[in-house]
Each structure stands twice: as structure tokens, then as C-alpha cells.
Structure 1
Amino acid sequence: MESIELLLLNFEEVRRRSIKVWMSVPEEYLGWKPDEKAMSCLEMVRHVLDSEHYYHLAILNRGSLESYESPFDSRPLISVHKELEMAEPLRKAFLATIKSFSAAQLADIIIDRSDVGYKRKLGDMLLRIGYHESVHTGQLLDYLRVAGVPRVKVWD
């Protein structure tokens, strides 16, 4: 398997497992959060989807964006299904961008996010994006544990 194919497989597997967790959250718990400063379950789903879009634009820009207008901000939080529906074309564009890179570009392109403390090669940045989603999926599983909600098995 080539490096781009492996990255795409990782993104697909991470998202498949995230969706499994997201869709398992009972409707009455979508607004639940462990404390007032935390994101709710549904806010966390939106955060992951919106962050992926932001990171996609940052990759295209080769660094942080000076201004970012989220396409999610004007939409009310309703359901996981609605969030996924909104994100679907953004996700397709993100994956198409990854497919457009060569293996050499994974090492040659530098993403400069000095404003938040790092510069990384494109390959590293792409792995960080998947890791970000994975961390929040684990965090959401913990939310469900704390709330006493049964959790789906993500290790299938």
C-alpha cells in the first residue's frame, strides 16, 4: 500500500468509528456535557467536523488562516445526522485534496502554524488531523461513561 492510500484508509477508519460512537448517543444526551465549560456531545461532533474543514483550508493555505468563517456557525445544532449531512461535501473535498498529493509532497510541503506553536510536514499534519478526531471520539466515549450511557464497541 502506498503512503497516500494508508492515510486515506486511516481517515476512513477513524471517521467510521467516530460515526459509530456519534450515532450511538441517545437523542436526550446530545446536549449533555460533564460541566459548564465543556462542549456538549453534539457540539463535540460539530467541533470535529468543523476542525477538519479548517485544517483542510490550512493545508491548502500551507499554514494557519488569518480569518476563518465556519460554514457551521450559521446552522443550529439539531442532530448528528444533520451535522454529517452538512459536512459531507466538505469531507469529499478534503479527501480529494489528500488524493491529489504525491508521496514526495508529504515530506516536502511544510504547513506553518507558527502562530499556534508548530511547523510540520504535510504527512505529519495529516496524521495530526486524524489524531484530533480520535482524541475527541475517546473523549465522547468518556462522556457517555460518566453519564451512565451504554457505549458501542469501536474495536470491531
Structure 2
Amino acid sequence: MDIRELFLKQKEVTRKRTRTIYPYIPRDKVAWVPAEGALSLGLLLRHVWHSESGVRQVPLYDRWSYFERRIPEGLFPILGEVTDINYEIEMLEKTHNETMELVAQMPAERFEQEFVNEKFGFRRKGYVILLGIIEHEVHHRAQLLTYLRILGTPWPGH
């Protein structure tokens, strides 16, 4: 199994686990936050797909536009307003499917290529950036489960 196959397989397994949570997300709690300054339930979902869409641009195309906006502006300003949990879930799935298709077609040498941006102090190989997308989803899935636990949402995983 090469790194491309490993990434695609692990990304799909990770998303399969994330999908099990979708039915338990209360649609009427889009703006709920566990504490002041935290991402709302809806913004948490948006952040996952929005960052995936932006971060993947580096190994795919050597484009840094996501970081050029995200770093100086901060997280909240780039996410905008969220009003619909179902839309955010649709975008999670759309972004996931796009990433799977794009990485499946990505030139093999880009996995080992080092991507450098001195302005951001960034130096990583393509496969490390891509695996970071998976790690990021796992991190925020755990955060989402914590939100649901605080809300008292029943979930069979408890």
C-alpha cells in the first residue's frame, strides 16, 4: 500500500465514523456555544470543511490563499455566519468527496514534495499536510461529541 492508498483509506474510515454523529446533532442548536469565545456548534462543522478545502490547496496546487487569509484575519472572520446544520453537513460531504477525487488524481511526486512558505514558517511534505486533514477531523469530531455530551444529547456511543 502506498501513501496515496493509505491516505484515501484512512480518510474514508475517518469520515465513516464522523457520519455516525450527524443524526444526533440538534438542528436547533446551530448557534450554541459551550463557553464564551468558543466555536458554535454550526461554526465547528463549517471550520472542518472550510479548513480542509483550504489546506488541501497546498499539496494539490502549491496555493497558499487559505493561510494568507486565515493567519492574519483569524478564524471567526473567515468562517462567516452559519444558519443551517444540514447545509454544513452537506458541505462536509461535498468537500470530503472532492478531496478524495483530487488526491486520487494528484501526481505521486507531490506526496513527497516539501512545501515551504517562509512567511508562515511552514515546511511540510505533501503527505504530512494531507494526513493533518484527517487528524484535524478526528480532533473536531471529539470536540463535537463533547458539545453533544454537554447538551445532554443521547448518543448510542455513550
TM-score range, shorter chain: 0.7 to 0.9
| CA RMSD, Structure 1 to Structure 2 (Å) | 2.7
Instruction: Give 1:111's match in structure 2, choosing from 115, 126, 141.
Output: 115
Structure 2 equivalent of residue 8 of structure 1: 8
When the two structures are superposed, what TM-score results if normalisation uses the length of structure 2? 0.77
Conserved in 2, the CA contact under 8 Å of 1:20 and 1:152?
no
When the two structures are superposed, what TM-score results if normalisation uses the length of structure 1? 0.78
Structure 2: gaps of 5 or more residues: 71-77
Structure 1: gaps of 5 or more residues: none
CA deviation map 1:5-48 (0-9, x unaligned): 11001111111212222331122333321112111112111110
Structure 1 equivalent of residue 38 of structure 2: 38
Structure 2 equivalent of residue 64 of structure 1: 64
Q: Is residue 146 from structure 1 mapped to residue 150 from structure 2 by the alignment?
A: yes
2:154 aligns to what SS in structure 1? coil
Which one-letter code corresponds to 1:38 in the other structure?
Answer: A
Structure 2 equivalent of residue 137 of structure 1: 141
CA deviation map 1:90-138 (0-9, x unaligned): 433322221123554322x122244443311011111111101110000
Task: Answer 1 or 2: which has greater helix percent.
Answer: 2
Which one-letter code corresponds to 2:32 in the other structure?
Answer: W
Structure 2 equivalent of residue 78 of structure 1: 84
1:132 aligns to what SS in structure 2? helix
Count of aligned pairs between the two proteins: 149
Q: Distance in 1 between matches of 2:82 and 2:41?
A: 14
